Amino acid sequence: MTTKSKSRILRDAMADKGLVHIMASHAPLSARLAEEAGFDGVWASGFELSALYGLPDVSLVSMTQHLDMMRAMSEQMDLPIVADIDTGFGNAVNVIYAVEQYEAAGAAAVVIEDKSFPKVTSLVADGRQELLRIEEFQGKIEAACKTRKDPDFLIVARDEALIAGLGEPEALKRAAAYEEAGADMILIHSKKKTPDEVESFVNAWHGRAPVVIVPTAYPEMNAERIRALGKIRMVIYGNHAIRASVTAMQKTFSAIIRDGGIQKVNEEIVSVEEIFRLQRMDRVKAHERAFLR
């Protein structure tokens, strides 16, 4: 009996459900929590990992650092992982190596964006958003497609034309070129505060490749509104794990200083036993009973 690959599982989920929900993660613990919450997959986020290291998301985190964390996530939970590999860590030659490594490490998909290296995170105000020539990025996509071993492994082209302020015609032109180069899906990104710009793009898009969105800047874009567009198959919640973590830590740390101790916050946070559960200490105990002599 052949076991489905994670890439096949992800493709089947999109086919069966019409829309999959992918939650960002920056560590195995947050990945496991996303799995328990019921998400269809995990986004191995470069932004979140950069934040975890206390660094800006400007290509400072290396491929090795990101790959090691993604591999650790894959080892600790069963969901498909969509790996955010930014610009592919260089040119098309670097993309070949990256795809080899990420597929071998357990990713179900990679997302490659059409910015120049080093990139600047998309949503920062007045950020430098420089895009590659279309032909150069097509080469990256073609390289990625020819490198994958599993034909189900998804190559997602991230179109940053709207982020760069180049307008919908340029975004559509790039999306068509990336599909021609072999991209399985097109991720269209926007920093507008409403979904209008993305909805306009999706309505104007007549390619075969399904669309991926990341509605961080326009949170009113809910599942019902996404489904109504008929062409979006994946929604990525791109940075909510790290933002929720920071919110909780800021509140807890401030309360401890304010209260002069942990007596109040101790009742507001999860128990140590819950952390033991997430660490799967029950397995350790079972192994000890079985094998320690």
Whole-angstrom distance, CA of residue 99 vs CA of residue 180: 19
Whether 223 and 229 have beta carbons less than 8 Å apart is answered as no
Q: Are 5 and 108 in contact (CB under 8 A)?
A: yes
Q: H or E segment at 73?
A: helix 63-76
Residue 12 known to be catalytic: no
- H or E, element range at 175: helix 168-180
How many other C-beta atoms can be found within 10 angstroms of the C-beta atom of residue 28? 19
Joined tokens for residue 157: 């082209």
- Given 57, 86, 114, 184, which residue is catalytic? 57
Chain-centre distance for alpha carbon 224: 21
What's 230's DSSP letter? Answer: S
Q: Rounded distance, CA 46 to CA 28, Å?
A: 14
157: nearest Cα among 165, 171, 148: 171
Residues that are catalytic:
57
